[in-house]
Amino acid sequence: MDLGPLVVLGLIWLALNAIRKAGGRPSGKPRTPSRPTASTPPPRPRSLTTTTGADATQREGKRLEDLLRDLGRTLDQASGPTGRTPDRRLPPAEEVEERESLEVTPEARSLETDSRRAERALVDQDDEAEKLVARRIAAAAANAAPRTRAEHQAFDARIRQEPADQTATRAYTAKQLRDAVVWREILGPPVSLRDEGER
């Protein structure tokens, strides 16, 4: 239970009460106890003898001691529950723990399950190798025969029908040529070290 706000309010109330009483009462009178209760005995007033030469600081210390004593009694009386009273009794924490268990029974599960896979296609590498060898032999036999004049003319006609862009050389723009000359001057050897033909 948090008594922090109650303690702060009690301290403020007692301090204001003590300041008000100290301002309205002559300093020579001993302080009477404030509100004695039946359950707690009234505090004994501590009187300072005249032989000790009680000055203002000693009287103030006595008042502070009485104030702290009153504050302790007030806190002892207010140590009960704060806030509104509940409309039904709350069960003790032990009963709640006994009624509701957070433990669950372990469940054994096997992670080794048979997975359903599609049937694999059987591939015979020997059959594939035989087909590859047969294709290679047929291609070699087709290329081994000499070319006829008709085949040469058909090949020539097919080449001439292709667009000229595939065989044409790339043309450079004036800006690209200018940049090439500038970069040659920057990266090339100095003029004094060039050959006669390069100058």
Q: What is the pLDDT of residue 5?
A: 79
Overall number of domains in the chain: 1
- Domain span at residue 63 reads 4-77
* Residue-wise pLDDT tens digits, 5-40: 788 888 888 888 888 887 765 555 555 555 555 555
113 domain residue, yes or no: no
Nearest partner of 40 among 98, 97, 88, 79, judged by Cα: 79
- Residue 19 in any domain: the answer is yes
Q: DSSP alpha helices (H): ranges in 39-190?
A: 56-77, 93-99, 125-144, 149-160, 174-187
Question: Does residue 93 fall inside a structural domain?
Answer: no
Contacts of 25 (CB under 8 A, 6+ apart): 31
Assigned domain for 72 exists: yes
pTM: 0.19
Phi, psi of 190 (to 5 degrees): -65, 160
- Which residues of the chain are under the pLDDT cut of 50? 48-51
Q: Measured between alpha carbons, how far is residue 63 from residues 35, 50, 56, 58 in Å?
A: 16, 17, 11, 9
- Cα pseudo-dihedral 59, 63, 68, 71, rounded to 10: 180
In a domain, 65, yes or no: yes
User: Which residues, in sequence order, are CB contacts of 66 under 8 Å at separation 6+?
Assistant: 31, 33, 43, 45, 46
Tokens of 197: 């033909």
Q: What gap in Å lies between CA 92 and CA 188, rounded to an integer?
A: 95
At residue 48, the pLDDT reads 47
DSSP 8-state secondary structure symbol assigned to residue 52: G
Is residue 22 in some structural domain?
yes
Determine, yes or no, domain membership for 150.
no
Is residue 38 included in any domain, yes or no?
yes
Six-digit token string for 109: 């599960």
Q: What is the pLDDT of residue 117?
A: 79
